[in-house]
Amino acid sequence: MSEKPDEDSKTEDATEKRIQDAFDKGNTPSSRELTILTSTLGMCFAIIFFAVDTSRSLAWTFSVLFSNAHKYVLEQESEAHWHLVKLTASVGSYIAPILGVLLIAGLAGSLFQNVPALKLDRIKPKASRISLKEGFKRMLGKQGAVEFAKTMFKFATVATGVAVVIKADMDHIFLSILGDPNQLPGHILDMSTRLVIVACCAMVVLGLADFAWSRYQWRHNLKMTRQEVKDEQKQTDGDPLIKVRQLSLARSRQRHRMIETVPTATLIINNPTHYSVALKYEPEEDAAPVVVAKGKDLIALRMRELAEEHDIPMFENKPLAQGLYAGVDVGQMIPMEFYKPVAELISYVNQLR
């Protein structure tokens, strides 16, 4: 059984076909940290613009609920259900903007990286996904080291941010505890906002770095060996030997069809040893004589044989034969520079008839 190519032997950049095949199978570059970054930015946006009003509204709602709890009469299950639905709707209306911002931010992180598409290949079961050997390779390999470094960076950043914020606000926290408790939620919200901002700054650095790394790693994984490039080239263009054979057959058929038109020619002009050019002229149909066949050496010889068999006039004119052979393709009318000598020959042919 053939083994997978060694990573060191993959020295060639991925071809366009390889990249397109990867996209078709759902193998696209994706940065998880960038999605986390957009979600964190969305959380920061929600805290700054919605959290204060939402917390006040929720506090007022529950304050009214608990203050008037003795007024609610729950004699039937339907009444309890109605009050619960009303409370849920009220709370939901307060937190819906925050959830909407978080949802949009999460989707934006994914849509920014790749256009969504349904690829069934991505959900097909693969033995490598449950293989312990492959799992250890991923954990202990380069990708595992990168993931560990990202985790440590996030832990160190968040831990440092929490320590700095708590140390700076320690006096306010003690004063809030010993003083008016109503001020404590405001301090907690202010601290949370600063912590989220610190996390956002760290995630911007980490997200952009991971975005670049994910694309580099994706292209690196798609690299090919020289043999793979050659095999793909053969699949795309076909085997060179087969192509040469097909081209030879096509030319042979073209020559055969061309020689078949020789009996329809009006006259043939020969170079005594090499070239022959067959011309056809129908005054009612053609504005000028048309080259219906041309050839050299063996093909020219065959054209002369056919001309003798069908009594087609032949003329030897070396410069005219060479000029027509080199300057006019089969099926084309002769250019004006050949009108005069060809017209003289056609006039002579008409006199013979």
Domains and CATH numbers, the chain: 7-233 (no CATH), 242-352 (3.40.1690.10)
Measured CA to CA, the distance from residue 213 to residue 221 in angstroms comes to 12
Half-sphere exposure of 3 (CA within 13 A, CB side): 4
Which helix (H) or strand (E) is 279 found in, with range?
strand 275-280
209: amino acid identity, one letter: A
330 contact partners, CB below 8 Å, separation of at least 6: 258, 291, 292, 293, 294
Q: Return the residue matching tokens 């033995």.
A: 127
Q: In what order do the strands lie in the sheet with 275-280?
A: 290-296, 275-280, 267-270, 314-316
Provide the token pair at 246.
């097909």
Measured CA to CA, the distance from residue 230 to residue 323 in angstroms comes to 43
167: amino acid identity, one letter: K
- For residues 49 and 193, the answer to whether their CB atoms sit within 8 Å is no
Cβ count within 10 A of residue 156 = 11
Measured CA to CA, the distance from residue 44 to residue 200 in angstroms comes to 8
Which helix (H) or strand (E) is 268 found in, with range?
strand 267-270
240: amino acid identity, one letter: P
Tens digit of each residue's pLDDT, the chain (353 residues): 445 555 667 777 777 778 777 777 777 777 777 787 788 788 777 777 776 677 677 777 777 776 766 666 666 667 667 767 777 877 777 777 878 887 888 788 777 776 665 555 555 666 555 666 665 565 666 667 777 787 787 788 778 877 877 777 776 666 666 656 566 666 677 777 777 777 778 778 887 888 888 888 888 888 888 888 777 777 766 666 667 777 777 777 878 888 888 888 889 999 877 889 999 988 888 888 999 888 888 888 888 888 888 888 999 888 899 899 888 888 889 888 888 998 888 888 888 76
Which helix (H) or strand (E) is 189 found in, with range?
helix 184-221
- For residues 301 and 311, the answer to whether their CB atoms sit within 8 Å is no
pTM across the whole model = 0.44
Classify strands 290-296 and 267-270 as parallel, antiparallel or unpaired.
unpaired
Classify strands 267-270 and 314-316 as parallel, antiparallel or unpaired.
parallel
- Backbone φ and ψ for 230, nearest 5 degrees, come out as -65, -45
Dihedral, 287, 292, 295, 299 alpha carbons, nearest 10 = -160
333: helix, strand or coil? strand
